A = this chain, B = another copy of it.
Amino acid sequence: MTNVVPLDGRRRAPSLDPLLALCADDMARVDREILARLRSPVGLIPEVATHLVGAGGKRMRPLLTVAAARLCGHNGGDDKPVRLATCVEFIHSATLLHDDVVDESALRRGKATANAVWGDKAPVLVGDFLFTRAFELMVEVGSLEILGVLSKASSTIAEGEVLQLVTQRNVSTPEATYLEVIKGKTARLFAAAAEVGAMVAGKTGAERVALESYGESLGIAFQLVDDALDYSGREARLGKTVGDDFREGKITLPLILAFLRGGNVEREFWRRTIERLEQRDGDLAHAQELLERHGAIADTFERARHYGAVARDALGLFPDSPLKAALCEAVEFTIDRAH
């Protein structure tokens, strides 16, 4: 684990707190904007949406937008970064609502999913509402270029989700395909969130490219770690059940590596449990044992560290500041969380 040496000299685990503290005012405005924009004469909409959005979560994506805007010199004089951050969170929330329906998930952030409470129809439609409200917010900000970035990101997410659906339960999915999936479903929105922060602060050159690259690499690292933790994390910290991906037959890097590195008997185990979804008591434990034996979790973290290093270097362009340091620490946190 990488440790951070703060001013008082004591080592502590990397945390998102410095970034949250530096952006606290902006994020309070984002929270108010979220609540305001969820209002609707159709009561079920705020009810379902608040169930998810109100459940908290780390709000990393909108945080990236307001932090990127500040890093690029935005002084908070107008509401545009806050609106774009809200928009980013709505796009993310819409995909979560739809994901949970598609994956038939029952638990998210330690809470029953919307589909577990209301069934599938409401979350599908409320997700659509959030998508369209996100576009309304973008239009209000009034930049066609920013609209271009976020609408492209939205369709890329959808593509990534469909690609994931196509690879589902195919244990011989190549690592390259998995990387395409997570670039689409996760990293693209991280990238766009940071990129539009730069754009709304008037930085359209190297700073915009740097923040896009920071966001994309951070997003890839984030998803890699998420997928490792799904097999190795502690439930209390995850806010979800360990082994969800296994039970759903979702193809993630730990499984891909274990499959590639294992012999025929092991491959038959993966085919039975993942491709045919014939799972018995003890299968998850055996899966975890195989991942451990082949270093699949450790190497997934190793891959994540590569992208973390790329993310940190992308920020090198900016002069040193507490905000830049906090964004670097967010990378460490992403990789070391729940360890």
Which residues of A are at the interface with B, using a C-beta cutoff of 8 A? 172, 174-177, 206, 209-210, 212-213, 216, 256-257, 259-261, 299, 302-303, 306, 309-310, 313-314, 316-317
Report which of B260, B310, B314, B317 forms a contact with A313, defined as CB distance below 8 A: B260
| Cα distance A233–B261 in the bound complex, in angstroms | 34
Sample of 16 further A-B pairs with CB below 8 A, known A172-B206, A302-B306, A303-B309? A174-B206, A174-B210, A174-B213, A175-B310, A175-B313, A176-B209, A256-B313, A257-B313, A259-B316, A260-B313, A260-B316, A261-B313, A261-B316, A299-B309, A302-B309, A303-B310
* Chain B: CB-nearest residue to A191: B176
Instruction: Write out the residue numbers on chain B whose beta carbons fall within 8 Å of the beta carbon of A216.
Output: 176
Instruction: Write out the residue numbers on chain B whose beta carbons fall within 8 Å of the beta carbon of A206.
Output: 172, 174
Instruction: Say how many copies of this protein the assembly contains.
Output: 2
Interface SS of A by simple majority: helix
* Chain B: CB-nearest residue to A313: B260
Structural contact, A317 and B261, CB atoms closer than 8 A: no
Structural contact, B175 and A317, CB atoms closer than 8 A: no
Instruction: Write out the residue numbers on chain B whose beta carbons fall within 8 Å of the beta carbon of A317.
Output: 172, 260
| Cα distance A45–B212 in the bound complex, in angstroms | 47
Structural contact, B261 and A314, CB atoms closer than 8 A: no
Instruction: Write out the residue numbers on chain B whose beta carbons fall within 8 Å of the beta carbon of A175.
Output: 213, 310, 313-314
The verdict on A314 contacting B213 (CB below 8 Å), with A306-B306, A309-B299 known, is no
20 inter-chain pairs at a CB distance below 8 angstroms, sorted by A residue, are A174-B213, A175-B213, A175-B310, A175-B314, A176-B209, A176-B212, A176-B216, A176-B314, A177-B209, A257-B316, A260-B313, A260-B314, A260-B317, A261-B313, A261-B316, A299-B309, A299-B313, A302-B309, A303-B306, A303-B309
Report which of B174, B209, B259, B302 forms a contact with A174, defined as CB distance below 8 A: B209
| Shortest Cβ distance from residue A211 to the other chain B in the assembled complex, whole angstroms | 10
| Cα distance A63–B138 in the bound complex, in angstroms | 52
* Chain B: CB-nearest residue to A264: B319
Structural contact, A314 and B174, CB atoms closer than 8 A: yes
| Shortest Cβ distance from residue A225 to the other chain B in the assembled complex, whole angstroms | 15
| Cα distance A260–B317 in the bound complex, in angstroms | 6
Instruction: Write out the residue numbers on chain B whose beta carbons fall within 8 Å of the beta carbon of A256.
Output: 313
